[in-house]
Amino acid sequence: MEKIKELNRFVESIGIDVSKLTLDVFLYNKKRHRQFSNNSQGFEAMQKWIKSEMGDLKDLVYCFEHTGWYCILLSHFLEAESMFYCCINPLEIKRSMGFKRGKTDKTDSYEIARFAWLRKDELEPSVSMPVKLIELQRLMSVREQLVKQCTALKNLEKGLLVTIEKVSSDAGLKIIKQSIKHLEQQISKLEKEMEGLIKTDEKMQNNYKLSKSVKGVGKILAVQMLLHTHNYTRFDEWRQFSAYCGLVPYPYQSGTSINGRRKIHAISDVKMKSLLSMSAISAIQHDSELRVYYQKRVDEGKPKMVALNIIRNKIVSRIFATIKRGTPYVELSKFAA
């Protein structure tokens, strides 16, 4: 009876549709809706309104979609207030809504509140990203934009070289080269800032160094691993992270007539998947053990992408193993010697 009581402890679900400037808040059972500004003053006003409607702030579940930067302040506020809140993948809520016509912020907040109420026994509280990781993510986002601009200018430069007879006298080409040089300097500066920020946290610095000890893992992948795993606190084991990145093949079977090969699901973190692919290619070139293993699987008839995916999973497992063990990765051949 105590377990049933614990599962049904929530008396109200609060759906919040988060946008850049506003929060649309819906109380599911009370059928009440109000809009607040997406800032600290708005959060305080929201809590006062909910308290006036409910009497107190006990046994409530707050639910909202993960909207990137827009929901970070709300997450930290609710965590500071010791509120039970869930930050859910927008796709999960969208698929739970069924067939819908039309869309407004009010109806979205209602659907989020309904989602939370129907699944109140299954929801687990979310944990907001630490402040230093948020700062690191912000620097990484800026770096990604600069890299895109630099790549675009380099591609433009290659295209212009085809049509220019005298390279030394072309003003447009000079400006492009100067811009590329400036962007590369800014990218290098950002990378130094990220490394400096990592050094301010002992645990984060230690995990960063341990992950870089794995062959094929560079500084960008090591930083992204810190961000996506919340400094290795978000996932219990490497298989969960592999599934998150879209590296795990799932069965495709129904009845007796359909029994297809195992496939990787399309829903995944494309950024991490791409970084791990490049890491796997680098590891095959520089790690003799992985190179032999990759060639062996290809010789057995495995498609090259399937063999590459196995290497990606091996890299993830090695990273998590070094973090769990607390010691750098050591090649077996060196250890044996």
Question: What tens digit of pLDDT does each residue of 29-85 get?
Answer: 999 999 999 999 999 999 999 999 998 888 999 999 998 889 999 999 999 999 999
Is 50 exceeded by the pLDDT of residue 262? yes
Residue entry with tokens 């000079």: 174
Q: Note the pTM of the prediction, 2 decimals.
A: 0.84
Domain 2-118 part of CATH 3.30.420.40 = yes
Rounded to whole angstroms, the Cα distance separating 318 from 137 reads 24
135 close to 228: Cβ distance less than 8 angstroms: no
Q: Does the pLDDT value for residue 331 go beyond 80?
A: no
292 vs 269: CA distance, rounded Å: 28
> Domain locations in the chain?
2-118, 131-200, 228-336
Query: How far apart are alpha carbons 43 and 218 in whole angstroms?
Result: 40
Strands (E), the chain: 12-18, 22-27, 32-37, 60-65, 84-88, 249-254, 258-264
Q: Are the C-beta atoms of 15 and 113 separated by less than 8 Å?
A: yes
202 falls in which pLDDT band (50, 70, 90)?
Answer: very high
